[in-house]
Amino acid sequence: MKKSVKTEAHYQPKPKWYTRFIPQRIKQRWGRWLNKRIPPNKQVALTHKSIFILPSGFGIAWFMLIGVLYLFGTNYQNNLVIGLSLLLASLLHTCIIYSYKNLAGLTLTSQTPPETQANQSIAFPVTLTSKAKPDNKHTSHQQICLNFAEQRHVRLTDIGESSQSSITFTPQERGRFNPGRIKVSSNFPLGLFRTWSYVDLDIHHIIYAEPKTSQVSLTSLDDDNSSEFEHGKLQSGVDDYKGLKTYVEGESLKQVAWKQWAQGRGMLTKEFAQPEGKPVWLSLDDTDGNSLEQKLSKLAWQVNVLSQGQQVFGLALKQQVIEQNSGEIHRKQCQQLIALYGKKITDATVETGVNDEK
């Protein structure tokens, strides 16, 4: 049963002042230790091995107050003051247990993020679940903060059995992107202790190039035909399957999608199309621009425009080529190739439809 939660987005924080004094070697060793302690996984459950607890500033002041009261009570032999200091100490000890229990058992699962362009904020969806105890079905986690490093955090006031949240990040460049570890933290219940964990949900996402408006420039294999937009359009035919459409009375029953009709989706007919004119290409060499990034941004915009018009086109980025096609899958393949072009060899792989010409 999913429970709605109240979230609060906060401004992007600045890096802690003390981080500039930590040597890079120490940061690297800390990162390697975290990878062993809390390895990357699509689903991570918080346990005693992955939860850290330290007193907050308020907790340190509370501890000093206990010491002052105890010394004052023993010096003046005042049992009432000594009893008050012991009461505050027991409350401090109890907060340690409840601070740990507030994060223990919480499970974070990554979900597929939406398409994102460079310099655009992206919300990474995360599912948070918790197993309710048999003797207390109302067990929940209170005041949980989620954020990536040096990014704004989201506060979840109450998490039941299952909750949905989105953690924002603003990538600056195109390419394969990993936002890093998610910091899960809380000061519940009294703010005396800060409990936190660093969770790596193994998020790998492709950031598309930022589209920039430009003139659509198509290259045809036939130089005699100068009409660019006559190339690659779809016309009715029998060559390639295009999709389904609502059945119109009088159409041939041979084209009826009987499988969909048996599923209760109604009378639908199969629609076929064939390309009209000569094949056309979007080429990096034929795109105007002062830099490689500007050319790729213009190509990204042209891919979206041609896909919306259901035009058949191919994409050629030097030796990397995607054959002529149309549709949403083709658009994503082209955008991925543009996003990964010029990056590391291990990253420059599009899911499907990419050929290398030698």
- Give the tokens for residue 251: 């159409």
Take residue 60 and report the two structure tokens written for it.
Answer: 């340190």
Give the global pTM.
0.69
Question: pLDDT (tens digit, 9 = 90+) per residue, 304-348?
Answer: 888 888 888 888 888 888 888 888 888 999 999 999 988 764 443
Strands 313-317 and 280-283: parallel
In angstroms, what CA-CA distances link 108 with 6, 34, 47, 49? 17, 17, 12, 15
* Residue 263 tokens, joined: 């599923």
Percent of the chain whose pLDDT exceeds 90: 22
Residue type, 332: K
- Whole-angstrom Cα distance, residue 333 to residue 351? 7
E strands in 99-177:
107-110, 116-117, 122-129, 141-148, 154-159, 162-169, 175-177
Nearest to 200 by CA among 36, 2, 25: 36
E strands present in the chain: 7-9, 43-45, 52-55, 107-110, 116-117, 122-129, 141-148, 154-159, 162-169, 175-177, 182-186, 193-199, 205-208, 219-220, 233-246, 268-276, 280-283, 313-317, 320-325, 354-356
Q: Which helix (H) or strand (E) holds 217?
A: none
* Paired sense of beta strands 313-317 and 43-45, if any: unpaired
The DSSP call for residue 22 is: S
User: pLDDT tens-digit profile of 200-246?
Assistant: 998 888 999 888 888 877 776 444 444 444 444 444 444 555 566 67
Segment holding 63, helix H or strand E: helix 57-75
Domain map (residue ranges) of the chain: 7-205, 219-232+277-356
pLDDT tens-digit series, residues 7-44:
443 334 455 666 777 788 888 888 888 889 989 999 99
Residue 316: alpha-carbon gap to chain centroid: 29
- Strands 205-208 vs 116-117: parallel, antiparallel or unpaired: parallel
